[in-house]
Amino acid sequence: MPMKENPVIGAILSRRSIRKFRSDPVPPEVRDLLLECAFAAPSAHNRRPCRFVVVEERAVLDALAEAHDSGKMLFQAPLAIAVCAETAGYPEGDRAWVEDCAAALENILVAVRGLGLDGVWLKVMDRHPRNELVRPLLGVPESVQVIGIAAVGFGAEEKAPHEGIREDLVHRNRW
């Protein structure tokens, strides 16, 4: 099989940020498989700081769409998964939880594409006023950081897959 026809490679290369969704619900077994993929992400020292808020209620999705200045697609998306980090117990200055949660969010988005859905990553952490507006809507405790939100659904738009290597951005052996 040519390497680009591998389903994993295909999911990675065809994963695009889709911001328009059909209203069809995401089946519960697909939602749960996305969570399983999120839990499969690597974690520094196996600390597993990731916590997830699954949002399927239309009222909450709409409130998130209002609160997040780049999240208007949540008015259409039938599912959102907020990826959060429990930071209690981490030494001061140790932000490995950021990478752990980023890996989980990327696993969700690649799995979304591999399962025939689409999604987009909405940044929340360290984004003022997004963080302050989103946190209370999700009811997260003080020791938890909202890293980002995956808006998920069946896409109502298509984008071409990624192709090629930007050689001007690649340094070989040394910078």
Q: What are phi and psi of 113, to 5 degrees?
A: -65, -40
Q: What are phi and psi of 103, to 5 degrees?
A: -65, -40
Interval 16-44: pLDDT, tens: 999 999 999 999 999 999 999 999 999 99
In three-state secondary structure terms, 37 is helix
Which residue type sits at 146?
V
Domain span at 56: 18-154
Is the pLDDT score of 11 beyond 60? yes
CB-CB neighbours of 62 under 10 Å: 12
Q: Report the CATH number at residue 109.
A: 3.40.109.10
Interval 49-97: pLDDT, tens: 999 999 999 999 999 999 999 999 999 999 999 999 999 988 889 999 9
Q: Is residue 161 part of a domain?
A: no
Number of domains the chain contains: 1
Q: Is residue 45 part of a domain?
A: yes
Q: Is residue 70 part of a domain?
A: yes
Is the pLDDT score of 3 beyond 90? no
Q: Is residue 1 part of a domain?
A: no
Confidence (pTM): 0.94
Is the pLDDT score of 117 beyond 60? yes
